[in-house]
Structure 1
Amino acid sequence: MTSQPNMANTNQPNFPQVEGGASLILAWQIKNKTVLVVGGGEVAAGRILNVLNADANVIVVCPSSGLNPEVRHRIDSSEVTHIDRFFEPVDLDALPPSNAPPDMVLVAIDDPAASTQIWKLCKEHRIPANIADVPSECDFYFGSVHRDGPLQIMVSTNGKGPRLAASIRKWIGNQLPAGVGNAIERIGELRIKLRKMAPNHADGPKRMRWMTRVSDAYSWDDMCALADEDMDNLLKFYQSGKVPELHALKAMRGGKAPEDLDVFDGSFGFSVVA
């Protein structure tokens, strides 16, 4: 009797394989959230800058004698609120000025036993925390970040090689074209203008397709060079779904309408990206 081939695995879906051991890298929106920083040294200063850049409300708990010059500057400039004492468990229940629990806790002190105790208290209160230099006592890590205006690129080694992460981040930053942050800023402004012009939810797919064409049609330098008048003129092509070449767009300066340009005679044209 002839055996039949095993057909069980012939139609297996080609899905990505799971690779464990990673962190879930997210952009955590903490604007106007309360972040408690325990400590006032060099590491605390870096943590404070990170969360201030994300527009958080920062409370620093540390005796004045333990403040380094940068943290003291943040306090003197009223960029953070300072509580001049050591951490107390009550800090996880209510903090000024809102008298509410912190949304995040960052610990950067040279006392492993005290750090672990704070970590355990945070777990009891279900408050996400990061204990500097103790990966096992961290709900999240700080990666090495390249920043250029709205552009942020984070490199993480999951705590295994921070110095290597910094080197990779510098290499990536050096490969990016100059002005990329400004170009992204201009794209963001154009999206805001477009959403005001076509605000309905049903317009979403068309807006996304047209913005993709705009992003593909112009270089970084071209986007940086667009004036407000250029962006207003560019929006005139949205309904048609077309994107004018840059020299055609510049020719509209001074109040010329698209129909005033001889856009189909070879001098001007449309660059429509599928």
Structure 2
Amino acid sequence: MNQPLFDKRQVADSFGRAAATYDQAAAFQRRVGHNLLARLPAGLQPQALVDLGCGTGYFTRALASHYGRPVLGLDLAEGMLRHARQQPSLPPAAGWVAADAEALPLRSASQDLLFSSLALQWCNDLPQALAEARRVLRAGGIMAFSTLVDGSLVELRDSWQQVDGYVHVNRFSPRQSLQQMLEASGFAEVHCEIETHVMHYPQLSGLTRELKALGAHNINPGRPGGLTGRARLQALTAAYEAFRTDRGLPASWQVAQILLKQEA
């Protein structure tokens, strides 16, 4: 039996601990989420909608404002949900519920829109999450989600490879594997586009602090235990310097922006 790619308890704990710092460090996440919002079909008027992997509720509130309706926020991390409940929202949220995308606590054929930005990459079984989405969507319903694919943080991964043999950077699905899962999902319409985002940092410490503040630092099996030694950090910094440009040290992200439509 294959080992799960991610331990969901560790995912939930990592993001829960980052709830208080997440919004201040989420410039990339905001950009990706707003791009996903812009892809939603014009004229869409969902009566029941969900923000899956809602985190601090930023896009839950954005969806509520855009559609003028309460939005249900679901997330695996209780710490994120506690933070989200404390933020004002107009209209008020339909609720904040701890939930796993692979086993949604929602009635079948009950939702018109499932929105999920940069959350489903933490699923161990994306086909199961897609099956759950199909189950809860009404006829003609839309699932809009963004997810990370292989090639994200390639500079950090390659720099660590020069230092030791451990897994230091989260692994994500190859594009071809993702496309195959989408095509096998049973949705009537499938649209997938890949975006490349490159963020720049004056020093490597800026990137590593941001990943920690987001709760998105290394949670893969095979990661090294204990503290990272000073000598290895110095070696990592030296290796990463080879990527420096006039804008600083780049950190590349590969993002799949996906729209799925249920058969009408």
- Report the TM-score, using the length of structure 1 for normalisation: 0.32
> Larger % of strand: which?
2
In terms of Rg, which structure is larger? 1
Q: TM-score, normalised by structure 2?
A: 0.33
